[in-house]
Structure 1
Amino acid sequence: MTRTTRALLSVALAVALAAGCGSASGSAGAGPEVTELRYQGSVGAVTFPELAQDLGYLGNITLKWVGNTISGPQDIQSVATGQTDFGGAFNGAIIKLVGAGAPIKAVIGYYGSDADSYIGYYVADGSTIKGPRDLIGKKIGVNTLGAHLEAALKEYLRRGGLTPQEIEKVQLVVVPPVNTEQALRQGQIDVAALSGVLRDKALERGGIHPLFKDVDLFGSFTAGSVVLTRRFIERNPATTRRFVEAFAKAIDWTRTHSRDEVIARYKQIIARRHRNEDATTVGFWKSSGVHGKGGLIAPREFQTWIDWLQREGEIKPGQVRLSDLYTNAFNPFGTGGAA
């Protein structure tokens, strides 16, 4: 049993215990719905719910920031155990958590990969690493285990002809994203998985080049989704609908406004929330990479990872169904309701 699987099973047990203890959430027909949503943010970045709140899309819903995270799996585990009300992660991580028994459901896509926003796996100029087989015995720096970066890397290795036994010899090293470039340049790791502003800053400094990118393997796709618990959705249907609608409209706002407008708005939001952050990083923003309009989730964006996890032996065939994983029912772009 892998470390990731053990952790997810522990989370599933905690979820079951928490469910037995009740919840502070409201319930349809049995009292007012919850309108304050707890969440984790990201240092020097603006999430779509934060943008939606700033644009006035959330209406009577308020957000309560409880801290920051750099790990998608940790973010959705916090939702599953009741520490937060919503969180987001790589779709493969959502599948594993649902497969472990957590009663969560994805309601909207929030990040992805395209020509402007992607995960790149970088090596130092002059490195002897030229292809998949050269990674055997090497160290690859990733932000967390069991998520997007690991999945894309293992797919690259599989397509490169490596056997499962050879893939096991490729070492994944967890490194905080802000330290990954430095770890590569100092020789502590052989490959650095970089994205967004950290990738762009590293490329500006030179001396590194890409080995491969996730878009080379999968094309443009939404990679991660935001989840709520099934209990929350059932007890707070109006809040869920308003939250997803506002989220979807915020995604669309970034697509229908210029890059300069988006960056300016993000900097204003960061300045107003007073978290002692450096807002210069958002100046590198290019796109969210979300593929579906308004964050609509496509079946293949989960089926791809169901198939991959079955090949990896992380889940059994039939253990998780698409209908267990996500819904577009609350997204107005699914019915043409958002203009």
Structure 2
Amino acid sequence: MTLTLRSLALTTALGLSFGTAAQAEVTIRYLASHGGLAPHELADELGYYDEAGIKLENLGYASGGPETLIGLAGGSLDLGSAATSAVLNSIIGGNDFVAAYPTQGINDDVQSIFYVLEDSPIRSVEDIAGKTIAVNTLGAHLDYTIREALHQKDLPQNAANLIVVPGPQLEQVLRSGQVDVSAFGYWQTTFEGAARQTGGLRAVFDDTDVLGEIAGGFAVLRRDWTEAHPKEAAAFVEGAARALDWARENPEEAKEVLAKALAERGENPEVAQHFAGYGVREGGLPVERDIQFWIDVLEREGKVEKGRLKAADILLVSSRSVAVK
């Protein structure tokens, strides 16, 4: 099955009524993230999958997106969720994955922010050279945003020292002086809002300064799974897209759903008040630039030969293909 035919089938399915998008129940195993709900989790909370034959099974927490891709490749997970750069690196490494839908995006309202202490001498991207930056994982969005920020300033892309710190500890390591900068990802607005509310921190730059408005990461499926379950794949994407639009249109209700889910998980529900949304464009589907930007970066870095990867071959379905159905 070619991508063109698969996209056409998915586009057609996305045009059907949701209740008929799938018939037989399938279970999708995944890992959650501390402090937040992925759009597919929100869709499940809202009941969008009740009649779609889809059951989500949370197997625990992921330290970062690359961990979910490893589980997806090994068969212990049915769904990954990672930064676009990490997804592409995994595909380059030989995994036949497709990007199902953008789990989050970055814009003026939702973004990754690089914080320092208020009295820090760090004032610009140039000043992070030689400094220690806390990120949630290596090889993913924050890592590549820093690389790109340094590149744009004609500095070596490895000029900063990155260390891995779980999201809930980002504020602590910064305030205790263990790192010079803490990078709060676009998916960690709950932790970022709590840290900002306490005060004493100053933002140096954010990822929209570096990348512009773009999808930050994707829910990822194995290509063979989507071909074996085309109706379920379409229903999965449709439910998540509906949830993304619902969250944008109902921000206060979204915070309530998040708080309830966090409490049920044994996490702190108070951080839900700082949820800033998902930052994904209306309609909840990607455009080719979301993928192509990072393909161009990886080609420039010599990680993949020019022309080997094409955004259209990686996207399961896009807003363009839906528009022409």
TM-score, normalised by the number of residues in structure 1: 0.82
Partner of 2:5: none
Partner of 2:29: 38
Shift of 1:335: 4.1
Shift of 1:332: 11
Partner of 1:112: 105
Deviations 1:29-81 (A, max 9, x none): xxx96611111112342222222122221122111111111301111221122
Task: Give identity over the alignment, percent.
Answer: 33
Conservation of the 8 A alpha-carbon contact between 2:135 and 2:182: yes
Partner of 1:279: 269
Partner of 1:334: 322
Deviations 1:182-206 (A, max 9, x none): 1112221111101402111211222
Mean CA deviation greater in 230-239 or 35-44 = 35-44
- Structure 2 CA distance for partners of 1:169 and 1:264, relative to 1, 3 Å: closer
Among candidates 131, 137, 144, match of residue 151 of structure 1: 144
Secondary structure at 1:295's aligned position in 2? coil
Cα distance in structure 2, aligned partners of 1:105 and 1:300: 15
Cα distance in structure 1, aligned partners of 2:129 and 2:115: 16
Partner of 1:174: 164
Secondary structure at 1:39's aligned position in 2? strand
Map residues 1-339 of structure 1 onto 2, 5 A cutoff: 35-58=26-49, 59=51, 60-162=53-155, 164=156, 167-195=157-185, 196-257=189-250, 259-271=251-263, 274-291=264-281, 293-328=282-317, 334-335=322-323
Cα distance in structure 1, aligned partners of 2:74 and 2:116: 38
Q: Which runs of 5+ in 1 are unaligned?
A: 1-31
Cα distance in structure 2, aligned partners of 1:276 and 1:86: 23
Cα distance in structure 2, aligned partners of 1:268 and 1:178: 18
Cα distance in structure 2, aligned partners of 1:160 and 1:267: 40
- Structure 2 CA distance for partners of 1:264 and 1:168, relative to 1, 3 Å: closer
- The one-letter code matched in structure 1 to 2:170 is T
Conservation of the 8 A alpha-carbon contact between 1:139 and 1:189: yes
Deviations 1:252-283 (A, max 9, x none): 111222x2211122223444xx4322211112
Cα distance in structure 2, aligned partners of 1:180 and 1:51: 25
Q: Which runs of 5+ in 2 are unaligned?
A: 1-22
Conservation of the 8 A alpha-carbon contact between 1:110 and 1:225: yes
- The one-letter code matched in structure 1 to 2:72 is V
Secondary structure at 2:115's aligned position in 1? strand
Conservation of the 8 A alpha-carbon contact between 1:52 and 1:246: yes
- The one-letter code matched in structure 2 to 1:42 is S
Number of aligned residues? 298
Cα distance in structure 2, aligned partners of 1:219 and 1:176: 26
Cα distance in structure 2, aligned partners of 1:269 and 1:177: 18
Output the aligned Cα RMSD: 2.1
Shift of 1:152: 1.1
- The one-letter code matched in structure 2 to 1:317 is K
Deviations 1:4-28 (A, max 9, x none): xxxxxxxxxxxxxxxxxxxxxxxxx
Conservation of the 8 A alpha-carbon contact between 1:33 and 1:236: no
